Amino acid sequence: MELNPITILIASIFTSNMILANFLGMCSFIAVSKEIKTSLGLGQAVTFVLTGTSVINYLIYTYLLEPYGLEYLRFIVFIITIAAFVQLVEMIIERYVPTLYYSLGIFLPLITVNCAILGVSLFLIIRDYSLLQSLTFGIGSGIGWTLAIVALAGIRQKIKNAPVPKGLQGAGITLIITGLMALAFIGLSGVASIQ
Amino acid sequence: MIKGVGNIFKNGMFQDNPVFRQILGICSALAVTNLLINSFAMSLGLIFVTSFSSLTVSLLRNHTPGHLRMMVQTLIISAYVIIVDIVLKAYFPAMSTALGPYVGLIITNCIIMGRCEAYAQNNKPLPSFLDGVASGIGYMFVLMAIALFREFLGFGSFFGFAIMGEGWTNWVFMIMPPGAFFMLGILIWVANTYIPAKEETKGGAQ
């Protein structure tokens, strides 16, 4: 099935949003979404790493693992690629763009264990994407993730002084808000579809 | 010893339950809970991976250099996840397709890494193994609870058997993502209200 890369881009931002439709990257989504500024920083870092790793993992899988029948090693290979990529990016940014390093720095190590990164790599293998499709899928998923976490951080800042029941404070109310956001995003499901 | 084992299970299942107390591993808790049978398979896989990777990490704990331990843990976990994936593909291909990428995502499930880091790294192999099993069962417990409600309301069935008869209208909303978020939110609320928190938390992950 040939999907237009642009369709994939739009769909992965809005209708197949990593968090709101696929539940990926929830851990940091709940933990870091207290302020808009930090959420935006984490979102940028995730988008950047997603774009890089989806292309690298696609190339490794297609040209190294598949020809030699080593598909079953993909989990280990992908996780090593992601860890190595994050480490490399951290070193390069620290060396050449120190200002960016100070704003993204603390988030980079967190990203290795963000399930959205590994999830995107696994999805693009399962869905049989081409190189260009993988690239737009990576970018779109990153933007979608950023959109969701920034929106959530905005809402959480607003409800800071609201009288939330005691047991529901923290994670509970955050999940309910996320549920409402997911409900709103379902309204966009006619725009583009990739499932 | 017996009391120690009892404590490990009590902590893993209720007081330190990884999902609603520590908010770990909720990606998969949300994704696979639309059907009871999927949640059950996923939980069994997770119990297997958590317990055996805790055991292995604990056995190797005196031989792992400190700065490499994250990498070693990740590789151990990946190896067990590959076993789960291959077994599912070989014997339960339908289940393998239904769970899709979420089997692979057991690797990044923070529960496993959390238990390795917080418990197995400093304890003997057998208690570590039991701790892994206990955390896995705690996870299973939450998954089954969410799936029970989602499947019942969404399909009017229990483990695939229709139990509600003709007049039942499916709550399509429950099968879709928002239903999962609401269910987990409500469950955390109930848990926080009725299960008393411990006085002091020891070695919580992260």
pLDDT digits (tens, 9 = 90+) for A108-128: 777 777 788 888 998 888 888
Q: How many domains does chain B have?
A: 1
- What whole-number distance in Å separates Cα of residue B147 and Cα of residue A76? 30
Grade residue B203 by pLDDT with cuts at 50, 70 and 90: very low
* Residues making up chain A, counted from first to last: 195
Q: Find the range with the poorest average confidence among A17-26, A42-51, B22-31.
A: B22-31
pLDDT at B202: 42
Q: Count other C-beta atoms under 10 Å from residue B29's C-beta.
A: 30
* Contact yes or no for B84/B113 (Cβ under 8 A): no
Domain-located, residue A88: yes
Q: Quick one: chain A helix, strand, coil %, rounded to 5? A: 75, 0, 25
**Bigger pLDDT: B204 vs A148:** A148
Domain-located, residue B172: yes
pLDDT at B200: 42
**ipTM exceeding cut-off 0.85 for this assembly:** no
Domain-located, residue B200: no
Domain-located, residue A190: no
State the best of A30, A75, A110 to mutate against chain B, taking most chain B CBs within 10 Å.
A75
Q: Which domain holds residue A111?
A: 5-185
Give the residue numbers in B contacting A (CB under 8 Å), as ranges: 20, 23-28, 30-31, 71, 74-75, 78-79, 81-82, 85-86, 100-101, 104-105, 107-110, 113, 176-182, 184-186, 188-193
Domain-located, residue A192: no
- What whole-number distance in Å separates Cα of residue B59 and Cα of residue B121? 9
What is the separation of C-alpha A7 from the centre of its chain, rounded to a whole number of angstroms? 18
Domain-located, residue A84: yes
Identity of the residue in B86, B100, B191 whose CB atom sits nearest the CB atom of A126: B100
Q: How many domains does chain A have?
A: 1
In three-state secondary structure terms, B169 is: coil
Residue with tokens 């928002």: B178
Domain-located, residue B201: no
Instruction: Tell me whether residues B78 and A26 touch, CB distance under 8 A.
Output: no
Q: Which domain holds residue B163?
A: 13-194
Give mean pLDDT, residues A69-82.
87
Domain-located, residue A94: yes
Give mean pLDDT, residues A64-72.
87
Grade residue B2 by pLDDT with cuts at 50, 70 and 90: low
Domain-located, residue B131: yes
On chain A, the residues whose CB falls within 8 A of the CB of B107 are 75, 79, 118
